[in-house]
Structure 1
Amino acid sequence: MVGQALTSVAIVGGGPGGLGTAIALSKLPFLRVTLYEKNPEPREAGAGISLSTNAWKVLDLLGASDGVKGGSKSNTHQRNAYTGKVLSVVQNPENSEAHHRGAIRARRTRLQSALLAKVPEGIIKYGKKLVFLEDLPGHGVRLVFEDDSEVIPDIVVGADGLHSIIRKALFKDHQLHFTGNSAFRVLVPRSKLSHIPDITSTTAWWWGEAGHVYLSDVDDEDESADPLFEITVRSYREPDIPGKTVFWGIPATNQKVGSRVENFDQRLKDAIRAVPEGEWREFATFAGPRLDKIIGWDKIALIGDASHPLSGAFGSGATFAMEDGWILARALELTHSAGLPAQEALEIFDHIRSPYYAKMYRNLDETKAKMQQFKVENTEFDAFLKAKIDTFLYGDKDFIHKNDIEKVWKDYLLTQVRSK
């Protein structure tokens, strides 16, 4: 590399996607990588995060899988939230003895810590909130931060989440909307809930007409004498607040959360009452239409929620973002070795990842249509719930949860060889 200028890359956002991208890109000697994170220190909002085959695949590629442990999702129950009736029990085949790692629910902070440990020292700059960006044709992208500092990298990776300022700059007409859904999340010691029947015994979804409750371990029992347990209360019909754009991780009272489950089974109400006051956090969900392209200005790539504002519809958003970053690294590596400009790498990245997200949007649309039709044809609530469970949770999602991102890249290379 003597005598050759390094290509500078700015990653905006220090969530799992940004961290995973920093790990993947920092291994390429022709790049100079910097990650800009708005918070003054490492911080992860939320509670638990689900990791399955697709997550383990990309975490292995990033060298971060050994640092992530959590609660097994081998035994998942689906229940009627009003009666407690068990509608479905699934033994996850990934958690069989034939698999050394299966589907788990882990603390989000565990994933963050595992990724942070693999990011080379000096790459992350904290306290850097992006407030403005400008295309400088022929020169790069001017990034301006809240502290009035500026940088002009050659390439920008927009890992700045659902409310991405970078996406807004690239696609000015793209608008998000409040979905009407809010999630109230908390992690509490399992011991505070273990006296309540059927609450901590399995991973479980308790389904209601206007919301549901999700329960799961987030710790490996072998690691802790009193492992943490997640409760998520999701409400489907929250009032829209004019002007509300970001409502993420704000405190919620026990009374507010309890009011969303006042008609649910007593066991759920008891579990919510057992949470110490001040622990709940509220997360309002937003979504937007699919982007035709997830690159722009010939030098910006959007990853994760910035590229596909799906409002967490598949419970695998962090994995999608890490997959994005790994594919971008492979594309840059390929074009550099061929002496091609970085613009070509971004086109390859878009060629691989845009159709994948398009398939997710189609899946959501098809599922919604099926459920609307089934609701018209069936008035019995348990039957509707069973159909919802079978379609939304256990329908054809292998293209997501069993995705092998390394094979995706190898298949792309094979198609290129065949086309020549």
Structure 2
Amino acid sequence: MAPKRPYVAVVGGGIGGLAVAIGLRKQGIEAVVHEQARELDHQGAGIAIGANGHRALRHLGVADRLAGAAVEPVRADFRHWRTGRSTVTHALAGGYADRFGAPFWTVERAAVQQALLAELGPGAVRLGARCTEVTQTGAGAVIRFADGAETEADAVIGADGIHSAVRHSVFGPDEAVFSGTSGYRALVPMDRLGHIPELAERVLWLWLGPGRHFIAYPVADGAALNFLAVVPDAQWTVESWSTEGESAELLAAFEGWHPFVTEILAACERPGRWALYDREPRRVWSTDRVTLLGDAAHAMLPHHGQGANQSLEDAVVLAHLLGSAGADGVAQALRSYERARRPRTRLLQAGSRKNAACFQLPDGPEARARDERLTRLPDDLAWIHGHDALGALREQTAPV
């Protein structure tokens, strides 16, 4: 008789939660996503999908669904904040995929969510389900919701973000770490930016300057430009995708910068503004019946562009291990997942913190040394972008 398949409840309907549900269902495991919002939030502007994240999307059967909305930039171009001089460039289209086995994409977060939902199919997401507590039983775990409902599962996956209710309930309170910076971000229609000739090319732009930096890239098959502007902001502590900033304040923060930057900022009517937080790496994020995924487990600052990619890596690894376990092997599968994922995500959390300072150096010897290091960027980031999460897992578990 085949072993009983576990029933899995996922808390959180973001990229990681939807992705792990797809992975589980592809292996014949019943998985339901419980999302607190009454409708899925498609805000959040753009994200970068590296080769490591692309491999996960391909494994889930979602990459082809995204291809029409994604952009493959021709290069990454680092620019001096004031002069506009190109200090370092790296080819992306073609050569990147040849080296790392999959392309580098820039895409709207909403498009990724919609592709995941389409692959997941109807009936897999329960909306308006705000988790308030998770308790473990001898044979599983129980989720309690704000509306009084309960659900019991063989395993619970907390994919509910940096302020995870699952983490708080199971592992106790901890504090998010404020970086002292804010991120402004928005999507600007390209038809507002036709007077900037450089935008005719599909490029990942990175403008580095003293105390702040600006990143921009096309999304929506080139119909819009996504930007992220990071500024020092010790007083602003609101961490929310839906909070709006003031365009005048944003422009003032980049006074003296090259017109490429300031004209993009001027074309943005209502930029989103959110305080940038991460968390200290956790020593443990799994019990016998509950585990964490994505930002709930390893929230990181956006300065490696790896938040969504790491959620996707988590999802395919966890789904694979649970799919191989059966209901009686849930505890071992969850702990194997943590062992497989924790070392890599700890390094990325630390690296994302360091990059903030690296991107915001004043002109002078340190900035010149940084630019010299950036010439070696493809080699330095090969461990991130060249990673195959499932391949690494198979190597770790292969018999000697």
Query: Is the TM-score greater than 0.5?
Result: yes
Number of the residue aligned with 1:85: 85
Q: How does 1:246-395 map to 2 (within 5 A)?
A: 246-275=239-268, 277-278=269-270, 280-296=271-287, 298-336=288-326, 340-361=328-349, 363=351, 379-380=364-365, 382-387=367-372, 389-390=374-375, 394=378
Change (3 A) 1:302 1:209: same
Q: 1:56 to 1:172 in 2, by over 3 A?
A: same
Does the 8 Å contact 1:67/1:110 carry over to 2? no
Q: How much has 1:146 moved relative to structure 2?
A: 2.3
Corresponding position: 1:239 with 2:234: yes
Contact 2:35–2:129 (Cα < 8 Å) also in 1: yes
Query: 8 Å contact 1:183–1:232 — kept in the other structure?
Result: yes
Distance (Å, rounded) in 2 between the aligned partners of 1:97 and 1:379? 34
Q: Which amino acid aligns with 1:301?
A: T
- Alignment deviations for residues 136-172 of structure 1 (CA, whole Å, 9 cap, x no partner): 3314323222222222222110100111121222332
Instruction: Judge which range, 52-61 or 100-109, deviates more.
Output: 100-109
Contact 1:290–1:308 under 8 Å retained in 2: yes
CA–CA distance in 2 between the matches of 1:349 and 1:233? 35
Describe the shift of the 1:136–1:103 C-alpha distance in structure 2 as closer, same or farther (beyond 3 A): closer
Look up the match of 2:30. 32
The code of the aligned residue for 1:294 comes to W
What code does the residue aligned with 2:12 have? G
Kindly provide the CA deviation profile for residues 380-409 of structure 1, in whole angstroms up to 9, marking residues without a partner as x. Answer: 465155157457x65622221111122112
Change (3 A) 1:85 1:233: same
SS at match of 2:234: coil
Q: Structure 2: how far apart are the matches of 1:294 and 1:384?
A: 38
Change (3 A) 1:395 1:294: farther
8 Å Cα contact 1:248-1:284 kept in structure 2: no
1:154 aligns with 2:154: yes
The answer on whether the counterparts of 1:95 and 1:103 sit within 8 Å (CA) in structure 2 is: no
2:392 corresponds to 1:399: no
Give 1:363 shift. 4.2
Secondary structure of the 2:315 match is: helix
2: CA distance, partners of 1:182 / 1:389: 24
How far does residue 365 in structure 1 lie from its aligned partner after superposition? 7.2
Question: How much has 1:178 moved relative to structure 2?
Answer: 1.1
8 Å CA contact retained: 1:207, 1:385: no
Give the Cα–Cα distance (whole angstroms) in 1 for the partners of residues 179 and 122 of structure 2: 39
Return the letter of the residue paired with 1:11: V
- What's the offset of the Cα at 1:119? 0.7
Structure 2 counterpart of 1:228, one-letter code: A
Answer whether contact 2:188 2:224 (CA < 8 A) is retained: yes
**Distance verdict in 2 for CA 1:117–1:390, change over 3 Å:** same
Residues 244 and 272 in structure 2, CA contact (< 8 A), matched pair in contact too: yes
Deviations 1:328-373 (A, max 9, x none): 122122222xx8431111111112111222332454577789x69x
Task: Give 1:224's aligned residue.
Answer: none
Structure 1 pair 368–34 and aligned structure 2 pair: CA distance change class (3 A): closer
1:313–1:97: structure 2 CA closer, same or farther, 3 Å change rule?
closer
Matches within 5 A, 1:215-234: 215-221=216-222, 227-234=223-230
State the distance in 2 between where 1:293 and 1:97 align.
35
How many angstroms does 1:50 deviate by?
A: 0.6
Q: Is the 8 A contact 2:301 2:349 kept in 1?
A: no
Q: TM-score, normalised by structure 1?
A: 0.85
What SS does the aligned partner of 1:186 have? strand
- In the alignment, the residues of structure 2 paired with residue 214 and residue 105 of structure 1 have an alpha-carbon distance, to the nearest angstrom, of 12
Decide whether the 8 Å contact of 1:8 with 1:32 is kept in 2.
yes
CA contact (8 A) 1:24 1:329 kept: yes
Aligned-residue Cα RMSD (Å) equals 2.8
- Work out whether residues 17 and 159 of structure 2, in 8 Å CA contact, stay in contact via their aligned partners in 1: yes
Paired position in structure 1 for 2:114 = 113
CA contact (8 A) 1:74 1:95 kept: no
CA contact (8 A) 2:219 2:225 kept: yes
Q: Deviations over 1:18-40 (max 9, x none)?
A: 011000111233x3311001111
Checking the alignment, whether the CA contact within 8 Å between 2:96 and 2:104 is kept in structure 1 is no
Q: Would the aligned equivalents of 2:106 and 2:218 in 1 still touch at CA under 8 Å?
A: yes
Q: In structure 2, what residue type is equivalent to 1:28? A: Q
Contact residue 17 and residue 321 of structure 1 kept, 8 A: yes
Residue aligned with 2:227, SS: strand
